[in-house]
Every structure is written in structure tokens, then in C-alpha cells.
Amino acid sequence: MSPEEGEVGLAPSAIKAKGHHYDATSIQVLEGLEAVRKRPAMYIGDISARGLHHLVYEVVDNSVDEALAGFCDQITVTIEKDGSVTVTDNGRGIPVDMHATTKKPALEVVMTTLHAGGKFDSKTYKVSGGLHGVGVSVVNALSEWCEVEVLKDGAVYVQRYEYGKPTGPMKSRPAEKGRKGTGTTTRFMPDPKIFTETSFHYDTLAGRMRELAFLNSGLLIRLGDARVGKSTEYVYKGGIAEFVKYLNQNKNVLHARPVSFSRERDGVAVDVSIQYNDGYVESVYSFVNNINTVEGGTHLIGFRSALTRTLTNYAEREGMTKSSKASVAGEDVREGLAAVISVKMQNPQFEGQTKTKLGNSEVKGIVESTVGEGLREYFEENPSVARKIIDKMLAAARAREAARKARELARRKTILDGGSLPGKLADCAFDDPGLCEIYIVEGDSAGGTAKQGRDRRFQAVLPIRGKILNVEKARIDKVLANEEIRSIITALGAGVKEEFDLTKLRYHKIILMTDADVDGAHIRTLLLTFLYRELRELVDHGHVYIAQPPLFMVKSGKDEIYCFDEKERDEALVRLGRKNLQVQRYKGLGEMNPEQLWKTTMNPETRTLLRVNSDDAVEADRIFTILMGEQVEPRRQFIEENALAVRNLDV
């Protein structure tokens, strides 16, 4: 897909190292591999699904670094039928000549030594990614087996490893007829003794591969799943401008083309693209060397300050703020904004627990000047678009001011009433939020059952009536005017918007419990939309859960088996296999008595909870827009495509 003329500032991936010879002399050894298998979480974050998928990202990042250096334009990632993963690229291939210090082939050094690679001098790679930067040796150490195949100089070089150790010396053979060029193929099987989960999720990998393709314009990434015969190709010639278009898919945009600008200064390449829509959600994503800096950092601070200053200065200069009584804040400027900031640089310094916050102070000024100059030029040439954006900003400021007054009024009322918690909340006895959980329950009937069935020491229950407001289609003043939403915010205790404070959260488990019918699913989606859009930190920190009440009870005499889907019901029928079997279908929570609800859905010893996460924030944003946004056609298409995957539909 070619970019429209004048639309896109192509990503400055041209920080290249083509002149440098890439061989064994490029590989520097810093330390051995011993500790990796003892403390895997230290190297890959954790040993659950997130750490498992991180293995793939480490291998792919090596291939992307070859692309950044100008030597690779195709990467193929395949989940094999046996559960292993293969990553192939057409880069230069890992060096295979003898390493002077270790007297081993460079390939073996790279695969078996921690912190050995070409990233530690500034000649081999000008820019490199990789979140933890631990390299492919860690993937090797945490795999049952790993095989690497390097194509170079008309020959194929192969070595196999088990638990990080070579099973034999590197071997070579002439390349097959017609197989030309260079490249590396890495195939590995995660070690089930290390990981709590070893099954790769296609959608998780797809989110990262799509992101990498957006960030590296022209790079083709193929993702395949041999287990189910599925594959997708990602390639975006327009780079991050196409990323922004993707973010605004199914939204009504204020200007047809994203505003894009690129600049390189002092060895830092900055690429920015923005586009406004008529919604109320901010979707801003920042990256450094392809790493998603979810905690932001100096580049994001520079972007935000330039955006706020440029828009407010323009509004004042054009006399647009005279009639507006509300003062403009940063969040008003970002309402309805989709933006991507991509920085590529040497030696990024990351801060924070997850190493996803950029700390380099010099980057703030570089991004600030890039955005300020780019926006001023664009506004001069496109005054009609500028006015639309300013009008939206001023409307957001007025709505925020109205919301603030509503909050103050609500606070005064609660002080006069003498109590601040919602009347329908049945609170728990414990004070420690880490031990407490709140069930947000659909309807007074189910709420009553839950109140009777709960453990009052640590479980609170908040019944909500009917369907809450769809926050996807409402500004914050309308959201805060909704009584049910106000009750939830007050009960949780952490506030909202600029007053939000996670340390004041009263319950560390927020559990949504709705009926298993269509209405229940709709109410759950409305609640999730509210939590994701307005209290996103609760989702990001893993505080939001979905209860899993049973759909059936199979009974024979005194034997009762609770079943969560048709498959479990059929298995229970076979297991009990007697006459006089009774099957009860629970259409709603209210059909269970308090003891049954406790036993199946509320007892921490026996219940099943689904934790809500946002590992792929871009995809989560897209799905909420489709399901809850203004446009009907994408929603119809989504339902048609996913209808076959629905297991339980009660119409």
C-alpha cells in the first residue's frame, strides 16, 4: 500500500551500518549463561504466558535490528504443529567464523553466552531494540532444544542445542540448489519445566508483529500457525502514519490525512504522526527502538508539552479563546487524539520496574521542537483543520469544567449526608485493600443473593441496576452524571481522571458478575468499556476480573455437578450415567440460592475467575470501538466473523 503524496514522513530507519564488516570480531563476550535457568524471570520478566511470548520477541528483535541496519526486509514467524516456533529472516546471518577469544565459532558464542553479540559497539548496529536486551542466548537457555541454521556464502551452517548447551560442533553443508542470499533460521521449543504455560497464542504474537511492521516501514513480517493453517502478512510502506490510520479505523476523523513529521538531530531520529477523531478517547503510543514504552518517558513529555503549547498558542492568536470561559488543560488537547511517537537512538536509558520508560533528558527537547515546528507549519497550510481541532479542544475544556463542578457538588452532598459510600453497597469488614474484593453485580435480585452468599469479612457487593451509560459515546461530564457510574467510582475509592490515585483503591479485586445471557454480556461489556476507558490503570495493574458462574447443574440423588459449558455438562451426564438425572440450566444468577452462588462463583477455594488484561492495547482499543462506537457496519462485520466462535448464546 503506497502512501498518498504529501501524507507521510517515512520512518527514518536509514540509520545504517552498511559499511561495517559483520564477522566474529564484531562479537563481544561479557558473561556466561549459568544464572538464566536458575532465575529465568530476572531475564524475561516472568515464566507465564508473557515470558513465553517474550522468547519469540527476543529472536524477532534480532531480525528487526538487521532490518534497522538496512540488511533485512523479510521476517517469517511460524508456530509449528509440535508447539515450537521458527523465526526466519533474510539478514546477513549470524557470523560463523572462529571467535578469537573463545576459539569457538561465533554462532556458538552468540547462542551460549549471555550478553554476547554485535550490540555492544556502535559500529555493527547503530540502533537496536529488544526490551530486556538479553539476546537469543536466553531463548536457547530456556528451551528444551533449539536449532539455528545460517545461510552464508553458498553454505548452510547448523548447530543444535539442548537446555542451552550444544549437542555437537557446528556443521556445514553446501546450500541447496537455488537457495541464494543470506539469512538466519532459529527454531526453539520452550522448556515446560521452566514455563507454567508453553502454548503460544497467535493473537498475542500478531499484536507485536503488526506493531513492528508499522514501526519499520517496508519490512514484511509473515506470521503463521501450522497448528490451524492460519497466516497473516504485515507490511506498511507508509510506516507510522498507517499505524495512526489503523488506530482511527471505524472512527470519524476530523481530517482525512494524518499529520506526520520526521527529524533527526544529534543522532536521535524522531518520527511522529497524529490524527484527531470526533470521539473522547486518547490513543497515544510511544516507542524507542521499536520498544513500546508503555510508561512513557522524556519523549512523551516532549510530545505532550509541544502539543499543548502549540494548540493553545494558535487558539489565542486566532482569538478563539475569548468566548471560552474554561481554561485549557493537557487532557483537553488530547481528547480524540490518535498518535504514534517513534524514536530511534543509540544508548537509550530506561527507567521503571518494567524498563519501559525512557529517561534520556536530551530527547524531550528534540521531540518538542519536532512536534512544535511540524504542527505550526501544518496549521499555517491547513487553517480549516486547525480550527476543527481547536473547537474540539475548547469543547473538551468546557465539559471538564462542568464535570469538576459536578464532582464538587457531589462531594458537598456527601459531607452533608454524613457518609460517602453508596447506600446499596454491602461493604466488607477487612480494611486491608490487598485482602478485599468487590463484586459488581447485575440487578437487585442477584445482588441480594450475592450479599447473603458472600464471606462478609473480605467480600463487598455492589448491585447495579440496568445498563450503565456507554462511555464510548459520551464525554466525561455525561459519564460522571450517570448515577450507576458514580456509585462504582465512589465504592472503588480511587477517584477518576486527574484525581485518580491507585493507592486509594479500596479493593484489589474488582469482579464483574453478570448473567450468562445476552443482556448480561451487554452489561459486562458496558462495565468493561467504562473501566478500560476511564479507569484504565485498574486493568493495567491486573485488578479487574470476570466471574464465571456455572451454566448447568447436573443432579442425581445427592450428587451435584456444576458445569460451565455444554462439554462439561455432557461429560457429567456420562460420569453419573444413572436414571433420574436432572439438568438445571441457570439463566440468571438470581436462580441460584446463596449457598450455590458461594460454592460455584464466590468461594476463592473453588471458583474460577478470568483476569482482564490489555497486553495488546491497540487491539483492545479497536474492539471497544467496534463493539461500542458509532459505526454500525464494522460491528455487523465483527459479529458475522466471530459468530461461529460463540459457545453459549441464550437468546
Catalytic (active-site) positions: 442, 515, 517, 519
Query: Any residues with CB less than 8 A from the CB of 377 and at least 6 apart, and which?
Result: none
Q: Are 507 and 599 in contact (CB under 8 A)?
A: no
Residues, the chain, total? 651
Residue 25 DSSP code: G
- Closest among 252, 240, 260 to 340, alpha carbons compared: 240
Q: Compute CA distances 53 → 65, 89, 204, 206, 596, whole Å.
A: 18, 18, 8, 11, 38
For residue 462, the SS3 value is: strand
Residue 558 DSSP code: T
For residue 541, the SS3 value is: coil
How many alpha carbons lie under 13 Å from residue 61 in its C-beta half-sphere? Answer: 26
Q: Exposure pattern of 113-128 as b/e (b: 16+ CB <10 Å)?
A: bbbbbbbbeeebbbbb
**Separation of alpha carbons 578 and 562, rounded Å:** 17
Helix ranges (DSSP H) in 34-149: 34-38, 40-44, 49-68, 106-112, 136-141
Which helix (H) or strand (E) covers residue 149, if one does? Answer: strand 143-152
User: 347 exposed, middle or buried (CB, 10 Å; 0-12, 13-18, 19+)?
Assistant: exposed
- Closest among 523, 482, 525 to 628, alpha carbons compared: 525
Helix ranges (DSSP H) in 420-565: 444-453, 476-481, 483-492, 518-534, 536-540
In the β-sheet with 437-442, what is the strand arrangement from edge to edge? Answer: 459-464, 437-442, 509-513, 544-547, 609-611
Q: Which three cell numbers stand for residue 622?
A: 479497536
For residue 156, the SS3 value is: strand
**Separation of alpha carbons 294 and 289, rounded Å:** 13
For residue 262, the SS3 value is: strand
- Closest among 498, 422, 496, 416 to 460, alpha carbons compared: 422
Q: Compute CA distances 609 → 513, 549, 602, whole Å.
A: 10, 9, 9
Residue 560 DSSP code: E
What single-letter amino acid sits at 533? Answer: R
Count CB neighbours of 66 within 10 A. Answer: 27
Q: Are 492 and 507 in contact (CB under 8 A)?
A: yes
**Separation of alpha carbons 20 and 488, rounded Å:** 60
- Closest among 385, 326, 79, 31 to 202, alpha carbons compared: 79
What single-letter amino acid sits at 428? Answer: C
Q: Which three cell numbers stand for residue 246?
A: 489503523
Which helix (H) or strand (E) covers residue 24, if one does? Answer: none
542: left (phi over 0), alpha (psi -120 to 50) or beta: left
